[in-house]
Structures are given as structure tokens and as C-alpha cells.
Amino acid sequence: MRVCRTAIIATLSLLGFAKAQAQQGTLRIASPLFAPSIANPYQGLTLPSTIAVLPIFDPLVVIDDQSRVLPWLAVAWSSTDARVWTITMREGVVFSNGVPVTAEALVASADYLKTPKGFTTTIGSSFANIERAVRTGELTAEIHLKQPDTLFPQRMANWKIPEPKAWTASLDKDGEGRKGIGSGSFALVDDNPAKVVLTANPKAWNKPQAARLELLLLQEQMTRMQAMAANAIDIALQIGPGDREDLHALGGHTLNRKSTRVTYISFAKEHVPQSPINDPKVRLAMNYAINRQAIADVILGGTVTPVGQLVLPGAPGYVADIKPFAYDPARAKALLAEAGYPKGLEVSVRIAASGADEETFYQQIAQDLKAAGIKFTIIPAAMAQMTQMMFLGKFEADMFSNFGRGLDGLGDYRYRSCLGQTGINKPYFCDPPSLESVKQAQAATDINVIDQLMQQVTRREYENPPGVFLWQNKYLDGIGPRVSETPDYDKYYDYLPLHLIRMKN
């Protein structure tokens, strides 16, 4: 049911986002999530949380839709043993304050990631394998790893480089950086938690088409669409299939944004020792009880692809003959009976949903599980809360909404398993036989050997699932009528080339 334009504008006004007059050359984007520290390049791994980080800080590389690692801030990388990597930075690039981007900035960044504060960031924990970094030339540096890592170039897509002195100057008494300076297409003007304002960086090597960029934090899917209807934004991240008709009526259209995320519902096995989910038969039963294809087709409008593993095609460990679990409520009930729950059971789950469509499909999952004899009690949580829960291991539930990084299945084990976990990161699913294969894969330097070892893990996880597998995400973004061109919008995984977006005069 459509809401009249006057009502929409009134709603936005009450929320503090009154109708905005279109500023010449201003691109306005609404996101359901920002990283906890907006100007911190070391927080956030994927979109949409990194939407305020990407315009300011360049990643070392980007990954295209063919899973190819492409040069960005770094133009070359090589290693003879997968343990010592030589990285060459792009020539002629400067940070927004005019300081040249050199190998020194890369080394300084690596050094920060090894500090106690740096290690606790999402990027710091991702690069816990770094032993040291050494500058070998004006634009070249060696990154020495503790263990060989053939996939290190792919991981560099998450590594964004700030200007070293400005970053150090921005650290507060708790070691948190607030005002980072990067080499991105835009420079930060105001990092208000609800509205981030950036201006074109005249020194950028990737010159932006827009003179100004405004990012609004609008957590509700409906509110993002209301803002679009009121001409308060130009792009709405993560809308739903049901919004397509309204968007077209406004003169806009939708685009699918690629993501490495594989959505699943994690079992917090290590934190709830008395829970029914500790029985693998219960975990299998829950996977058979859900009609993924119906949810994907009807609720999500064909925008997602159901999966039976956490690895995407092209990544080590992907098994082509593993298909999504069949919808088989009878088999689910039989497995529950074998596990000692002939009358069913009850589990709780922490869910952070970014929109109405997500809330709807979780409710449908609850209905499917109920039909198989499983009461699925949903406990809502904000996305920021979920991040804290994951790092501290305090879910206070049997399960929680989560995602796997489908192109880096090997790296994911540093978060969710009992392999090499230290500090505040708390593992939530450990499987010793799988970890033996993972350890061997981590030490291997031959990509084919790594692939074979990780395929063993993938096959085992199909029989001993770490969660309820759902689907590969392909996010639907709304593009408003003021946007004239969006070159390469859907070319990369978890990267948006915002500098290429053109606005109508």
C-alpha cells in the first residue's frame, strides 16, 4: 500500500530528515548501517557498514565479479614462498592533505594493526598473520607473515591506508582514531553519527564526478524508501523487491550490488553447552526444515541464491556438487526424534535485520521450523549490538544471524572457530576434525592443495553444519531519478566506485 507524498515528508520531518532541496553536484546516499567509527579505515569489512569509509580511504586492491584481484592503491604484489610478499604502491598518489602515498604509509599501517588497539579492530584481526613490514624502496615494502598465505592478495581488498601522521594525531586517549585522512575520492567534512558529509578531494587520483557526498544513516528499509520518495536521497542501499514498483513510479530503477556475504544463522555452540544445538542431528534437522527456495523466490523476489555451503564459486573449498538442503520437514522431524526430541524443542536466536524484507523472511523461517516441531524464538538486536556480541561472545541465545565471507572461507576460521583465537574475539563453533584440515591448508603454498583440503572441510560442514545455510547475498539498491550514470556499479565485490556516479544537471 502506497503512502501519500505529504505523509512521507511529514514522517521524514519528524525523524529529523526533512525534505532536502537538491544541491547541484551533491550525491546523497542512505545506508542502514555505518561502521562504529566512521572515519576509521580499520573498522568494517563489507558494505553497507563501510559506505562511509570507502570514499575516504582507498583499499590496496579490489575484487571484480570474476573473483579477480585488481590493482588499486597497490599496483603489484609477488611472493616466492607465500610468506614474504613484496607490495608496490601506485606512483603519483597523494593523501587529501597533500602528503605523498609511499611504502612508508603501508608499513606504518601494518605497524598499527599489530598494536593492542589495532589488533582489536575488524581489519586488525583479519591481518593477525602479519609478523612485520619492512620498507624496501620509495614505493615498495615487504610484508612478512607468520604463516604462508597464498590468498594474501585477495585479503588486501580489506586493507585501507590512512595518512600515517594524521592518523597518529587523531588517536584519542583510548587509542581510537576519529579523523583519518585518506587518498580516496572524497574528504571528510562532518562525521555526525546520523549524517556524514564529504566533499570532493581535488588531489584524488580517482577524480569524483560529484562535488559533494552526503551519507544518511536510515536503519529502516521503509524510511529509506520514504526518503527517496521525498527527494531527500539519490541512492537507497538495500531496499526490497517489493519496493521496485514504487521506485519505478518515481522515475528511478534498481541495481543488484554484488557481495561476498553468504547469509546463515550461526550456532553459538561454544557458548551454550546445554543447548539442543550441540547435537549435530538437531543442526541437520533445522537445515532440512526450511524452504529456502520459496523464500528466495516469493519474499526476496529472486534476488538471492540459496546455498548449502559458505564458500562461493572460484574460492578454495567450493564444492560444485553440494546443493542447498532439500526442503524435507519429514526428515527434519525424524532427525529430531533420533536426537531425543520426538515432541520438538525450542531454541532462541538473535537477529539483526536491516529492513522489512529481512524481518519477513526470518518470520517465515520461524514458521517453517515450527512446522517441523522447532519453536524459534526471535530476539531482535541492533546491528551494532550484534558486532559487540560477536567479538565478546555474549549472544545470550542459541543462535544468531551471521554471514560468511564466501571468497575467504579459510580466513573466516580466525573468527568463528577455536583456531588461533586470542584477545577479545570469542569463537562460537569448533569442530576439531575440520580444524586439522584448516591448519594444513593454512600452511600450504599450493593453491590446489589448499582447495582440496578446504573441500574436505566444506563436505564435513554439510554433514555437521555450523549454522543454518541460507543464501548468497545480492543486495538490491534503489537508484533515484537525479542519477544519470552509474558506471561499474555492480562490477566489484563489496566496493562501490562512488567517484564514477554522475548526477543530472
Written as nine digits, the cell of 298 is: 516469493
Average pLDDT rounded to a whole number, residues 215-232: 94
Which stretch of DSSP H or E encloses residue 130? strand 130-135
Nearest CA-CA partner of 65 in 492, 471, 496: 492
pLDDT surpasses 70 at 461: yes
Q: Report pLDDT digits (tens) over 462-485.
A: 999 999 999 998 889 999 999 999
DSSP notation for 301-314: TT-SEE-SSS--TT
Predicted confidence at residue 139, as pLDDT, reads: 98
Residue ranges of domains in the chain:
1-56+184-252+480-505, 57-178, 259-473
Above 90 in pLDDT, residue 89?
Answer: yes
* % of residues, the chain, pLDDT over 90: 66
Number of H helices, E strands in the chain: 16, 19
3-state helix, strand, coil in the chain (%, to 5): 30, 25, 45
Whether pLDDT at 201 is above 50:
yes
Q: Which long-range contacts (CB under 8 A, 24 or more apart) does 485-490 make?
A: 486/255, 489/255, 489/257, 490/65, 490/255, 490/256, 490/257, 490/258
C-alpha–C-alpha distance, residues 437 and 462, integer Å: 15
Q: Partners of 159 in the beta sheet?
A: none
40-49, 99-108, 156-165, range with the lowest pLDDT? 40-49
Mean pLDDT of all residues belonging to the chain: 89
pLDDT in tens, 423-454: 445 788 889 889 999 999 988 889 999 999 99
Q: Pick from 35-39, 269-273, 425-429 the range whose average pLDDT is largest.
A: 269-273
Q: What pLDDT was estimated at residue 392?
A: 67
| Residue 2 reports pLDDT greater than 60 | no
What pLDDT was estimated at residue 330?
97
Is residue 75 within 8 Å of 90, Cβ to Cβ? yes
Please tell me the CATH superfamily of domain 1-56+184-252+480-505, with its number. Answer: Periplasmic binding protein-like II (3.40.190.10)
| Percentage with pLDDT > 70 across the chain | 90
Element housing 144 (H / E) = strand 140-145
The torsion angles phi and psi of 342, rounded to 5 degrees, stand at -65, -25
Q: How far is CA 209 from the centre of its chain?
A: 26
Reported as a pLDDT band with limits 50, 70 and 90, residue 67 is: confident
Specify the higher pLDDT residue, 134 or 408: 134
Mean pLDDT on 86-102: 97
Residue 53 CB-density burial (10 A; 0-12 exposed, 13-18 middle, 19+ buried)? buried
Indicate the pairing of strand 212-217 with strand 26-31.
parallel
Confidence of residue 354 (pLDDT cuts 50, 70, 90): low
The Cα angle at residue 43 between residues 176 and 356, in degrees rounded to 5: 125
What are the cell numbers at 484? 544519470
CATH-assigned architecture of domain 57-178: Alpha-Beta Complex (3.90)
> Regarding the domain with residue range 259-473, which homologous superfamily does it belong to in the CATH classification?
Dipeptide-binding Protein; Domain 3 (3.10.105.10)
Q: Which of 40-49, 107-116, 227-236, 332-341 has the lowest mean pLDDT?
A: 40-49
